[in-house]
Amino acid sequence: MRKILTIQPLLSLLLVVAVASFSAFTHLSSLKEQSGVPFGYFDTAASGAIKAKQDLAKGEVKYAIYGMPMRSYVDKLVSEGVTPLIMGCLAGGKGSTFWTGYNKYMESRFPELIPVPRLT
């Protein structure tokens, strides 16, 4: 009986750790998917344009941003109904070609998405 009482808290702790690990893994993999190529697409500009066209048909307007965007630019996108996708600082990695094609398609439909560099 004592052995069962000792094992039960250990099993409970193991279950909590397993659930927390799975939750963290799920969250991290969703972030990685955002900066990489979505499932079912290739890392090509044409594939990015196809995905952009499909998103637009569903009423979803997204825009991939590399680097460290100004808060005012991100706020402007959000206020206009655009979902900014923050990709990190390194352009040229896996998924860059896809997201370049995606952005070019969106820019062709919404020229105001193109960031305008300003000296202040």
Go through 61-94 and write b for each residue having 16 or more CB atoms within 10 A of its CB, e for each that does not.
bbbbbbeebeeeeeebbeeeebebeebeeeeeee
**Rounded percentage of the chain residues whose pLDDT exceeds 70:** 65
Q: How confident is the model over 64-118, as pLDDT tens digits? A: 988 888 888 889 889 989 999 988 776 677 888 999 999 999 999 988 777 766 5
**Arithmetic mean of pLDDT over the chain:** 76
pLDDT of residue 101: 95
pLDDT greater than 60 at residue 42: yes
Tell me the whole-structure pTM to 2 decimals. 0.65
Dist CA 41 CA 98 (whole Å): 8
